Structure 1
């Protein structure tokens, strides 16, 4: 499966190598069960969890503001409880919710044996780099809990740098770390807006979009070179990329 001209593979983490969405859903379920023991109203509990999920999806973390990520996310829970209930019935409830949600999510995160085997095989032939957006502490926790450092020549976390995907600067950093050119690399990820657009911006040899739902590319979005439903299908793409790049 040697690919002439391809020297390095850049992988996203969340929902590419690990199922963060599933882990998040399990964590919300665990938090919901805890809340039901304290607030005996299913509709209220559901509303609190839905509000937190929405706030998390819209989160823009600014480290220069001086608030650590844990404090910010406790704040998400506090606001969600207040919006659903009015007055928080237990002063420490928001912090309890955050602790249950965070620890449950970390416990639910895992890298499948099949993906571990794939990365081990690929690393015999290519340089591998993990490139993940997100707040530094949060992403390091994920990397550590799934034990994936051993599979990569380098790990780059967007929160450690001035710019994240899809900015060219963070891709240039990755190329320099691996001592390769952009055209030597393939970018693999689940986000059209960050992974695929970033790879396109940086001029990589090819972009591979992980679309677990098998969805089509929305109008106006960047078009990936290849689309697969799981990263386990990547070897088929590499077989197609044998030989020099065609103009």
Structure 2
């Protein structure tokens, strides 16, 4: 963990979290689901190993580039992508593979026990907000399937709004919904160019960065850098109870 600065004169009232690769390890878990599907394609459908790996890799690249398309039903879009990524003589299994993808994806994306404990503990002392970029249906599907609503006092998805991170207005909208001043809020996220830059432009009290890659650099320096979200209590002021919770051994995570 690295600390830069903190405005000790501003009490923390609210903590805003990014979703993907902050609270849930989206990239890692989606990769794990696709790796499992390579086994399924080989063992259950007889697709040769190289073809199975290539199909899964093509799907993951396509899905990350465009996780939703409003011209399809939400669960039909992955099946459409699989049809385009599988060899022609295997495209008839696209729906089955897509169903298995969705099942595995949300199995691996589940909140880990230590993150659940963190959110439940934080809610005793702070208002919590979720601010996430992405298509509305895709992000709300994750929120609903993972049962996230109960942990947050407000949830903002950029696909529902005129702005997305790093536009300061999405952060200020969260402040407005929670009736708190920006200087009393913390933003926690994995992206310098959206979470940290936006939090600073909105003049939030503090920004906390959880880098996906250790060698990332930017002029938008965070106030604190931590390795994982469960280290957050270590940088919160005047919270010995939370620091004790953070120091306790964490349960094994799914991903």
Q: 1:97 to 1:201 in 2, by over 3 A?
A: farther
Provide the C-alpha distance between the structure 2 equivalents of 1:60 and 1:112, rounded to a whole number of angstroms: 23
Kindly tell me the number of residue pairs found equivalent between the two proteins. 231
Q: 2:62 maps to what in 1?
A: 55
Select 2:84's aligned residue among 79, 88, 91. 79
Q: Judge conservation of contact 1:186–1:205 (CA < 8 Å) in 2.
A: yes
Select 2:235's aligned residue among 229, 232, 237. 237
Q: 2:40 maps to what in 1?
A: 34
Residue correspondence of structure 1 range 134-173 to structure 2 within 5 A: 134-173=134-173
Select 1:45's aligned residue among 46, 52, 59. 52
CA RMSD of aligned residues (A): 2.5
Provide the C-alpha distance between the structure 1 equivalents of 2:151 and 2:47, rounded to a whole number of angstroms: 46
Kindly state the Cα deviation for residue 240 of structure 1 after the two structures are TM-superposed. Answer: 8.1
Provide the C-alpha distance between the structure 1 equivalents of 2:9 and 2:156, rounded to a whole number of angstroms: 24
Question: Does 33-42 or 6-15 show the bigger shift?
Answer: 33-42
Provide the C-alpha distance between the structure 2 equivalents of 1:157 and 1:33, rounded to a whole number of angstroms: 34
Select 1:224's aligned residue among 212, 215, 222. 222
Kindly state the Cα deviation for residue 5 of structure 1 after the two structures are TM-superposed. Answer: 2.2
Provide the C-alpha distance between the structure 1 equivalents of 2:10 and 2:194, rounded to a whole number of angstroms: 27
Q: Judge conservation of contact 1:134–1:157 (CA < 8 Å) in 2.
A: yes
Q: 1:55 to 1:101 in 2, by over 3 A?
A: same
Q: Judge conservation of contact 1:3–1:239 (CA < 8 Å) in 2.
A: no
Gaps of 5+ in 2: 1-7, 240-255
- TM normalised by structure 2 equals 0.80
Dislocated runs of 4+, deviation >4 Å: 60-63
Gaps of 5+ in 1: 242-247
- TM normalised by structure 1 equals 0.83
